[in-house]
Structures are given as structure tokens and as C-alpha cells.
Homo-oligomer: A and B are copies of this chain.
Amino acid sequence: MNFDFLFNPKSVAVVGVSSDPTKLGSVVFTNMISAGYSGKLFPVNPKYTDIFKHKCYAKVSDIPEDVDVVCIVVPPKFVNDVLEDAGKKKVQGAVIITAGFGETGEEGKKLEEQILDTAAKYNIRILGPNCLGSMDTKNKVNLSFAATNAIEGNIAFLSQSGAFCTAMLDMSLDSNLGFSHLVSIGNKSDLNENDFVTEWLADDNVSVIGAYLEDVHSGHDLAKIYNESKTKKPLVIFKPGESEESQLAIASHTGSLAGSIEVFETAMQQSGITVAKDIDSMFNYLQGFAWSKLPKGKRVGLLTNAGGPGIIATDFIIKNNFELNVLSDDIQKQLKENLPENSNIHNPVDVIGDADSERYKSALEIMVQDENLDAIIVILTPQLVTEVEETAKIVINNFKVSDKPIIPVFLGGRYVSYALKRFYDNKVPAYKDISSAIETLAALYNYSAHLKNNEESRRSVKISNLLGKGKYRSEIQSLVTDSDKALDENLVAKLAEEVGIVIPKQKLTEHSEEAVAFAQDLYPVVIKAPTGAIVHKTDQKALYLNINSNYDLVESYIKLYSLVSLQSKHPKILVQEQLKADEEIFVGVKRDGSSKVYDSSEGGFGHLIAFGKGGIYTEVYKDIVYSLVPASIDEIFKKLKSTKVYKIIEGARGKDKLAEDKLLDTIESVQKLVLLYPEISSMDINPLMLTKDKAVSVDIKIFIKL
């Protein structure tokens, strides 16, 4: 869609401007003026004939010229009338600053629906309601009541919280961080994050995108938009809501449901979207992406004038999965020649406390030549002879010409603050603390690694090949309703067979002779009542384990048969081979969104597949990893290796390696299954019995739902 009406309108009407310059409407109007807006600007308010030296109109339809966008700052009950009137004027969009809609409860929701109806009628796109407004710095548009204009730059930022925008904006002033766009999406009744991300991915003026979200509009779409975009740009998202308590707070704040944090984080990680963990990290990551080169690898060099901070930085480097690389021989030799004797020429390179800026210069210029380093962190503590500002200049000069990121960390307060200012003026991301610097570098590295690994998207192709194409689709469709329903054992077995999930040898028998014949080559076996026959299997002795002989089998069979007979006219008994696992594994799936999640722009990320330690320790250790379906086998394998139980799978303490290939096949089959049948709302295999040559899914439960 064309966003010119919002970001580059030729004419703007602000409804609700008053003669009091401190009122919201007036602030929006004067913000447009102070931003230097060069288009036509019309104040609207029936009480005035002119205002702030502009002719004032009673209503939008009184304006004699075309109006591209109208900004509405009137009490909620009048908003719809303004919109109706603006509709007649054929405005393309409305920025509704006014609060008091969906976020306030049922009545507000109705009011919001009403304005959406009006907007639809006149084909008007809506930003908000309940928002701070929108800025485009290049086009000098500030349709917001923010207290200041943003600095011009290449970061496009959107936020579901106006205050988050305001805080970022205030932080950006001292750090010289520039924005191309700053959009508060408020209740996102019409325009939402996906619209803006689509627009900004295509806008050459934008090089980094940031978003603060309290709920995700349509996760599957967001991931798809980002993954399928031809232009790759860093996208940083911060979404609170880890705790139940904050999810409640979100519900009362925006009226939206936050959704599971696992689905969100998995989707982000799989798509290469950076997740920020608080306001500071959002700010740091945007600044890092906007200003710094990306590290091509994990090998970090540390340059410091003090041992202690070098040690502290080392801990953070390792914690963030970087490597403190050994410097090349030649580089070490050069350092030795150029630094005083008691310097440390290994990594961290310690130019020691009496280092002046020249010494930093020698060391840094040598280190940037090292092909074994992908990034350099320069730590400075303000000691007696330290030349803080001169050293900053040296870092800046090297930052500009080097092809690897050089990140300064100047520890302290007063004596380093001017150096930081100088860094920011030169667009060098600089930090006062070690952890922020290294976490930011990690964000840059992860994005860079994702770019390398994911030159093409695997997701969309596979989905369309499989989606809804299962053999038993009609059977499933006849069963599915809008509440969760369990499939019976027969259907589960058929589905398992269709995709190649191995289940134990089993037979539904009517006589003990039949059972004995079947069990001959299988002992030990278990016998159980079929699904649905008796509710709680173990409670009522409807499950017999460890049957090792014909004698035992017949004895248990008779007991179980008589029990099942009580509830069934044609009693059947399930005989199943009993398997002994070297390890019990869990594989599960949960769908985020409805069964239509892959087709439409409804909410949800689709199916999330989970796997890891199963059996009685599933809940105890939660040693489970997640992938969004469909994930490539490489990705599944990488995730599996990150579980702790993988130590056992790969053969711990001299034991046999287990059949990890069979396990991966099963996970792949499960992915296939849920795409063949998107009606599957959840599915559990627990345990999957893994031995050195088999992966058998003993207990499979499948639920379907529309």
C-alpha cells in the first residue's frame, strides 16, 4: 500500500486545535510547524475563525482544497462524526490520537468498531486510536504530540505504547540517534505492525526497524513478510509479557492477549528477528545496527588499560558465546615491539594504566590488522595519565575505516561523558558499561550469522506443498469442531502410518488364543483396554505390564477381559510389544492460532513443535526446545543438540549412541502430519522410546480443533 498520506502528505488537517498552545491538538499543529512541514496545513475547530495565524475551519468538509490526512484530537464521542465528515472529503487516512476506545472496555470497543465501519465505508486508513501519532523526519512531518522532533536518521520505529516512544525519543536526543519514522500504533485498530514493517522493508531510507509490541497481530504473517522480503534489514522487537502478571497488565492496558512467550521467541529466533529484553537493550541494538558494521564471526579482541575490566569483559564475552581469540603470531610480535614490556600482548591486550592515547593508537592499529579477529572492544578506565578524549578520537578514526566493528566501552561517569558525546556525534555506538556493549555485539553477530545461513527462506514453499493434503482429511474434517477433541487409537495409528511415525507392534484381539499367538515373538508385552473403553487405565487395573510368558498373558487377559466386558458388548483387548527405552523422549506440537492460521491474516504463528526429555522428567526438567513448523532438518538437529538429554542420545560415558536419525525422522514426520492436517490443535508423543536402533512412539495423543 501507499503510505504517502501518512509519511508524505500534501495537505493535513488537524481537528481539535485550540487557542491554548498546551492542548494536545495545538501541540500536534505546532509540532507540524516546528518540524518544518512544507505542505498545506489546516486547523479545524468550529470555535475559531483563525488560529496560530492559520485560517481555521469549522469542519474538514469546509476546507476548499484536497486533504490527504486528518489528525483527530477531539473527545471520543465526536470522533466518528469527524470521520464521517472527513470521508465525504475523500481523505485517505486518519491519525486518531484520542484515547477512550477499545482499551477502556466494552463500550469503548463498540465505539472503535463504529469508527472502523465508517473508515471502511469511505476507504480511510486509520492509525490509532489511542496513540501519540506519527513522524517522518525526512519529509518533515510530525503528526504527534511528542515533546520534541526526532533527529533525522535511518531507524524506523513503531510502538504499541506512546510512552515507550517518548522515552526512546528522549534517550535519542543525548545519544544523537536519528529516526526516519517514529509511529505510535496505539490500539492498531486498522494499521498494524505488519503494514509498517512491509512498508519499511521496501523503503531505501530505512536501514533498521524497531518495534515495541504488547501483542502480535498476526505472527505467521509477520514472519512471512520478514522472511520473504527481498531487502534484508535488521528488525528488533521488544515484547514484554513473560510473567502471568504482566500478561494481565497487558490485557488491562490494551485489551489484547499476549500469547505464549515460547511461540514468540521461537518465531523471532527462527526468522532472524532480534529480541530486545528491555528499553535499554532496544535502544542499544537499534544504535548498534544503525551505526556499526556487522561482525563476520565470533572472534573478539579486547584492548584495555586495566586488568580488572579485562577480566570482567572476558566473562561477558564467554557468556554471550563469543570467543576470546588467540591473536595471530605476527600481531603478537608487532604488539610486543610497540608496547612497553609489562603490557599484556595476549588477548585481552592490556596496555596498562599509564597508557596515553598514542599507546592505544599503536595497539589498536595493530589489532585491526589481525585476520583472526571479527570485532574489537576497546575498554578505557580514566586513570591518571589516560587521555580520554584523544583516545576517543583514535577509536573513532579506526571505527570509520575498519571493516570490522570496533566498540568502545569507556568506564566511569564524569571524566568519560565528553568522550561518549564525541562518539555519538560521530555515530560510533559507545557504552559506559561492559555488558551492554557485548550484548549489543551479540545481537549484531546473531543477525549477521542468520543472514549467512538463511540466504533463502525455506518456510513458505513446504507449507503449500503439504497444507491440508492428508489422506484422511475428510475423516478429520467430519470430526473437527470448535473445541478440542481427541482422536481414537485407530485413527491415530492410521495417521502415524501415513507419515511414517513408528508405533509399537500391536493387535486388537478378541480371544486370549489370538493374543497368545500374536505375543509369541514379542515378549515382554503389555495388554490394555482400548481407548475409551475404561477411563483411568492404571486405577482399574486396565493395564498389565511386564508380561513375559503365555501363562502370565492368559491370566492377565482373563482379568482384563472380564473388566472390559462390563462396559462393552464386543470387548477387545489391545496387545502391544513392551519396549525398553535407553532414553525416553518427548515430542509435542501446539498450534498458535486457528486451523486457518496458514491461509489468512488471522492471529497466530502456526504450529510450534517441541521436543526433548520425555517420561516422568518431562515436567521436572523442561529440557525441551522449540521450532516453528516447518523447520528444516538442520535446524531441528541444531536444536536437538542444544538439549541436555542430547548428551545421553550421543552416547554419554562410553555408552552406545542412540538412533538420533530415527528420532529426527519422527520429528520430521510430525511436522508433516500437522501440515497435512492443520486441524491438529495439539499432539503429544510421550514417551518416544529411543534405543540404539529404534525410535518408537509408544503413547501418541492427537487433538483437533477448528
Query: Which residues from chain A sit less than 8 Å from chain B, CB to CB?
Result: 22, 24, 27, 99-100, 104, 145-147, 159-164, 166-167, 169-175, 212, 214, 240-246, 249-250, 252-254, 278-280, 305-312, 314-319, 324, 342, 344, 346, 348, 350, 353, 381-385, 411-417, 433-435, 616-617, 619-621, 623, 644-645, 647-648, 652-653
Contacting residues, chain B, for A645 (C-beta < 8 A):
620
B621 touches A621 (CB 8 A): yes
CB distance from A141 to the nearest CB of B (A): 18
Known A240-B311, A311-B214, A620-B645: A384·B145 in contact at CB below 8 Å: yes
A311 touches B342 (CB 8 A): no
Give the complex CA separation of A417 and B174 in angstroms: 10
Q: Which of B164, B244, B382 contacts A308 (CB 8 A)?
A: B164
Q: Which of B164, B346, B383 contacts A166 (CB 8 A)?
A: B383
A307 touches B353 (CB 8 A): no
Contacting residues, chain B, for A278 (C-beta < 8 A):
312, 316, 433-435
Q: Of residues A162, A214, A245, A312, which shows the largest number of chain B Cβ atoms within 10 Å of its Cβ?
A: A312
A319 touches B242 (CB 8 A): yes
Contacting residues, chain B, for A385 (C-beta < 8 A):
22
Instruction: List 10 interface pairs A-B (beta carbons < 8 Å), by A numbering.
Output: A162-B308, A163-B308, A164-B308, A167-B382, A174-B414, A212-B308, A243-B319, A245-B317, A246-B312, A616-B652
Q: Which of B309, B311, B411, B433 contacts A250 (CB 8 A)?
A: B311
CB distance from A319 to the nearest CB of B (A): 7
A384 touches B147 (CB 8 A): yes
Known contacts A161-B306, A174-B417, A280-B433, then 20 further A-B pairs from the complex at CB < 8 Å, ordered by chain A residue: A163-B306, A163-B383, A166-B381, A166-B382, A167-B382, A170-B412, A170-B416, A174-B413, A241-B315, A242-B315, A242-B318, A243-B318, A246-B312, A254-B307, A278-B434, A279-B433, A616-B648, A616-B652, A616-B653, A621-B621
Contacting residues, chain B, for A623 (C-beta < 8 A):
621
CB distance from A546 to the nearest CB of B (A): 13
B413 touches A173 (CB 8 A): yes
Give the complex CA separation of A318 and B100 in angstroms: 29
Contacting residues, chain B, for A147 (C-beta < 8 A):
382-384, 415
Give the complex CA separation of A381 and B168 in angstroms: 10
Q: Which of B160, B342, B417 contacts A104 (CB 8 A)?
A: B342
Contacting residues, chain B, for A145 (C-beta < 8 A):
384
Give the complex CA separation of A27 and B167 in angstroms: 43
Q: Which of B172, B249, B314, B434 contacts A311 (CB 8 A)?
A: B249
B242 touches A309 (CB 8 A): no
Known A240-B314, A240-B315, A319-B242: A308·B353 in contact at CB below 8 Å: no
Known A147-B382, A170-B382: A253·B311 in contact at CB below 8 Å: yes
